[in-house]
Amino acid sequence: MAGFTERFKSELSRMAVSYNINIVGGSMIEVGDDDRLYNIAYLFHRDGSVERQAKLHITPQERRDWVIEGGDELQVFDTDAGRVGILICYDVEFPELGRLLADQDMDILFVPFWTDTKNGYLRVRHCAQARAIENECYVVLCGSVGNLPSIENLDIQYAQSAVFSPSDFAFPHDAVLAETTPNTEMIFFSDLDLTRLTVVRAEGSVTNLKDRRKDLFDLRWRDWSWKSGANLED
């Protein structure tokens, strides 16, 4: 699959520029500078620039069947439509990552995923919706559907894409802005009003981000600069 990655990137970047849109294009396998395989999601900007987010947590199947390695960087991307983060599939099941992104003022979290069973899908979906509630942000969940019988380990897929919101008065009663028909290939749309996030964070019936007891606990990202030989002393 890594052999198709550059072609994939080139085509989606062309589409982003041609249609004047920003695209979060799922994820592909990429060969790193260390010759190891990584699962990478790409953000294709309408100006032609491309940014990347590696999957950090690798499932047992990925490790066993695909020999995938986990990345070690997490970032929020600036776009002309707000600040966005990307957590690939299994990564959304680790709430610390969503909170670290929220601490960097993320507005929209994108979760591209692949699951082959309904229970696997529901695990990703429920965690994605929890991230929207606890971090007072929008979450866009988008997975692959259908069958690829000739592709080993990807022959069966199950998904239902959706857009989640915080669960409060300014949003739908079920905190679901839009969703597709289960396991059906289709296009759907949702308008995301970022000003509503500002209101709910300041005046919501609950204010999760503001009400954290930082006097009791905190969350920090470990500094990996030692890998490049940097001096961590002040």
* Tens-digit pLDDT string for the chain (234 aa): 667 888 999 999 999 999 999 999 999 999 999 999 999 999 999 999 999 999 999 999 999 988 999 999 999 999 999 999 999 999 999 999 999 999 999 999 999 999 999 999 999 999 999 999 999 999 999 999 887 777 776 778 899 999 999 999 999 999 999 999 999 999 999 999 999 999 999 999 999 999 999 999 989 888 754 444 444 343
Q: Distance from first CA to last CA of the chain, Å, rounded?
A: 44
pTM of the predicted structure, to 2 decimals = 0.92
Residue with tokens 């204010």: 207
- One DSSP character per residue, 136-205 reads TSEEEEEE--EE-TTSTT-SEE----EEE--SSTTS-TTSEEEEPPTT----------HHHHHHHHHHSS
pLDDT of amino acid 60? 94
**Are 221 and 100 contacting, i.e. CB atoms less than 8 angstroms apart?**
yes
Domains and CATH numbers, the chain: 2-205 (3.60.110.10)
Count, in order, helices (H) and strands (E) of the chain.
5, 12
